C-alpha cells in the first residue's frame, strides 16, 4: 500500500481492474514490452490464444488510467511500461492477495 493510501484509507485502483488487466500489469512489472510480447506472455499463462481485440483495448484503458505508459518504438511498434502508479497497483494487488492467504480474511 502506498503512503497516500495508508494515510487516506483509499483503496488502490488495482481492485477495480479485471484479472486480465492485473495480469498485464504483472507482466509489465518485469520489464517494458511491446504488444506482441505481452500477448505471448498472456497466452503462456492462459494456455490459449489472446485476441488483439481483447489485448489492445485493455492496454489502452490502462494507459488512460495512468498505470501504463505507451511509447513508440518505430512506426509499427509500441512499447508499454509501468508508471509509478502501475507499480503501486501491482504491489497492492499482491499485498491484498497475500493478506488473504496468510490471515484467512474474507
Which grid coordinates belong to 41? 506472455
Inter-CA distances, 87 with 13, 21, 90, 102, Å: 11, 13, 5, 22
Number of CB atoms found within 10 A of residue 22's CB: 18
This prediction's pTM:
0.82
Distance CA 79, CA 16 (A): 24
Which pLDDT tens digits describe the chain residue by residue (106 residues)?
344 343 334 567 878 999 999 999 999 999 999 999 999 999 999 999 999 999 999 999 999 999 999 999 888 899 999 999 999 999 998 888 888 887 666 6
Would you list the domain boundaries of the chain?
Answer: 3-96
Pick the CATH number of 3-96 from 1.20.1250.20, 3.90.79.10, 1.10.260.40, 1.10.10.10: 1.10.10.10
Amino acid at each position: 500500500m502506498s503512503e497516500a493510501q495508508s494515510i487516506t484509507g483509499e483503496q488502490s485502483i488495482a481492485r477495480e481492474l479485471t484479472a486480465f488487466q492485473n495480469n498485464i500489469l504483472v507482466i509489465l512489472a518485469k520489464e517494458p514490452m511491446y504488444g506482441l510480447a505481452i500477448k505471448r506472455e498472456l497466452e503462456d499463462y492462459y494456455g490459449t490464444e489472446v485476441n488483439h481485440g481483447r489485448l489492445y483495448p485493455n492496454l489502452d484503458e490502462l494507459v488512460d488510467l495512468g498505470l501504463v505508459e505507451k511509447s513508440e518504438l518505430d512506426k509499427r511498434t509500441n512499447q508499454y511500461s509501468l508508471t509509478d502508479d502501475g507499480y503501486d497497483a501491482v504491489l497492492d494487488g499482491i499485498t491484498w492477495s497475500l493478506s488473504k492467504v496468510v490471515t484467512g480474511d474474507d
